[in-house]
Structure 1
Amino acid sequence: MRLTLRQMRYALAAGRHENLTLAGNELNVSQPSISVAITQIEDVMGQPLFVRQRGAGVSLTPFGRAVLTRAARIVAEMEELEGLAFDEDALVGEVNVGCFEDLAPYCAPALLHRLKERHPHIRATVREESFHALGRRLVEGAIDIALTYNIALPPDVEVEVLRTLEPYALLPADHPLTRGKSVSLAELARYSLVLSDQEDSWKYILSLFQLHDLSPSVLGKMRSFEMQRSMVANGFGVAIAYTSPFGDYAYDGKPLVHRPITDRLPLQQVLVAYDARRPLSRAARGFISEAQEWFSARCQVDEFETRR
């Protein structure tokens, strides 16, 4: 055989990270080792897999995308074959997960910890990505599954819903709207709106107001959810969010207040998505199963806290 599993693993890591140095860091090998493996595959295949960019950046060619899609299947099958050496019920292999960047701190570390305890032979990696990047990486096969909201998903994906969320208003603790138990969109529209700079996200939030013929003024678009929360906590405006961290304080210790919104608004779903054209490995299915159990448990905790 002119191709090896090592070469395939190195190329797959480069495809995931779009960077040879980061791929080497993941696999604990040097950047030149990744580069040599890719060159060896390209010599055998007779076509480039990647377009080299300045520094250590790379991007997949259409041919490279097709090769790595097949390589991912081969590596997954070999890992499952190796898994026969373990107990019959043991899950073995690698799963590469992309997670929407605002959602990732909420669930990804807990899911990785849970997976490590219950399935120690699964190697899981998680990348934080924007909505657009998650869709692209699913199509390219750079990730096996995506944890995200039902926003900007590409065609040909299957989804499994993990949780349904209602939007809520995020307010500074001393804001006049905190005096009531709930707020309306019309009330929120009187104040400056702090948005995320994720295009799909801010367009979606503004569309909620447009459904009710409202046009709030926009203070600005923040690059992170925590920056958005901190701006609200410091009195610069209000926000609408779906993700609900467990703490009611911004990074600088300023308190935040949540209020339900009285208007009938679309619900949002936290879901796991994967490309329907590619079969899921047993390791990926194991990750999804753990995610389903974790989110189900979180729903029960949150419902209990609400009743209190």
Structure 2
Amino acid sequence: MSSIPHVGFTLVQLRYFAAAAELGSMTAASRQLNVSQSAVSTAVAQLEKELGVQLLLRHHARGLTLTAAGEDFQRELRSYLEHTAELVEMARNAGEVLTGDLSVGCFSTLGPFELPRLVRACEAQHPEIRISVIEAEHAALKQSLRSGKCELALMYAYDLDDDIEYVEIKSVAPYALVSGGHRLARRTRISLRELADEPMVLLDLPHSGRYLEQLVQSAGVRPQVRHRSSGFETVRAMVGSGMGWSVLNQRPAHSLTYDGGEVVTLELEERFEPLPIVLASVKGVRLTRRARAFIGSARRAAHESR
């Protein structure tokens, strides 16, 4: 049997340090924790003494900043404290239903299509899990994962850095979108080359815009982008009003736009790889039971919808 290494610091010291580091102030941490400022200062000092390294730099009248060692320690500590909370929860709820809060990020254009179904699936199986949602674009979601604002993020599997890992939920193939009155609207399948001389309306979100432009270019077409919008429904409305064609991945259940226009989806003759939709998390961070339950129910829901 391997021996358990001796550590001289306490869970309280870790919690006090985490609060001070997050808030950048001993005073703010003491208010949040409802303890005296001296208690926080003493706990952090004892933790640094036990570890033999300085974690925080104290600046008179300017609060606290993390040292390089402190940044590394804080990053690992977040996972440790989450796991500690999970152990407590597991002990309290042994043999009972999962309970507690789960924060899930979601790429803005995916929300209306995927999020209600996945949240409903998880709540149906685990009604005591309280799910909150952060909707944002790609880069902001990655930052929210790293900062701990959300534990999981529903997003597309492109431009994911080495510190992000993911589980694929489903994949979606690109398609062309034209107005109901377009010359190709009665077709079911076209080549992007047939649209090469016409203006394009681009869904111009960070990462998404680049992905869509590169996709069109890979078909040998140089897109003539006439209009850009970060709004999915705005793109559809522009196409519906005859302002150009577009390429998208998500398919609404109806062909009408918000302003009453009509759009038609057309399959593409070009063979493009479907774009995976994933639940991403920070690599090396142990997921809570709630997060693992959400992933499990999401994968089942995606499988049942095929």
| Alignment match, 1:165 | 172
Does 2:251 match 1:256? no
Looking at structure 1, the residues matched to 222 and 30 of structure 2 have their Cα atoms a distance apart, in angstroms, of 51
1:1-308 matches, cutoff 5 A? 2=12, 36-37=31-32, 43=41, 45=44, 47=56, 63=70, 66-67=73-74, 70-86=77-93, 88=95, 90-299=97-306
How far residue 35 of structure 1 moved from its aligned partner, in angstroms, is: 9.4
Q: What's the CA shift for 1:242?
A: 0.8
Q: Which amino acid aligns with 2:134?
A: R
| Identity %, equivalent residues | 28
Alpha-carbon offset, residue 224 of structure 1? 1.4
Shift of residue 285, structure 1, vs aligned partner: 0.3
Structure 1: where are the runs of 5+ without partners?
A: 15-31, 50-58, 300-308
The alpha-carbon deviation at position 166 of structure 1 amounts to 1.2
The answer to which structure has the higher helix fraction is: 1
Q: Which whole-Å CA distance do the structure 2 matches of 1:42 and 1:225 have between them?
A: 48
Backbone CA RMSD of aligned residues: 3.4
Distance in 1 (alpha carbons) for counterparts of 2:230 and 2:66: 27
For residues 177 and 116 of structure 1, the distance between their equivalents in structure 2, rounded to whole angstroms, comes to 43
SS at match of 2:171: strand
1:67–1:228 distance in 2 versus 1, CA, 3 Å:
same
Structure 2 gaps of 5+ residues are: 1-9, 45-54, 59-64
Contact 1:7 1:37 in 2 (8 A): no
CA displacement at 1:147 relative to structure 2: 0.9
**Cα distance in 2 for residues equivalent to 1:261 and 1:42:** 62
| TM-score, normalisation: structure 1 | 0.76
C-alpha contact (below 8 Å) 1:184/1:261 kept by paired residues: yes
Q: SS at the partner of 2:158?
A: coil
CA contact (8 A) 1:96 1:143 kept: yes
Partner amino acid for 2:296?
Answer: S
Q: CA separation in 1, counterparts of 2:156 and 2:67?
A: 28
Q: Residue 217 of structure 1: CA displacement?
A: 0.9
Q: CA deviation at 1:261?
A: 0.6
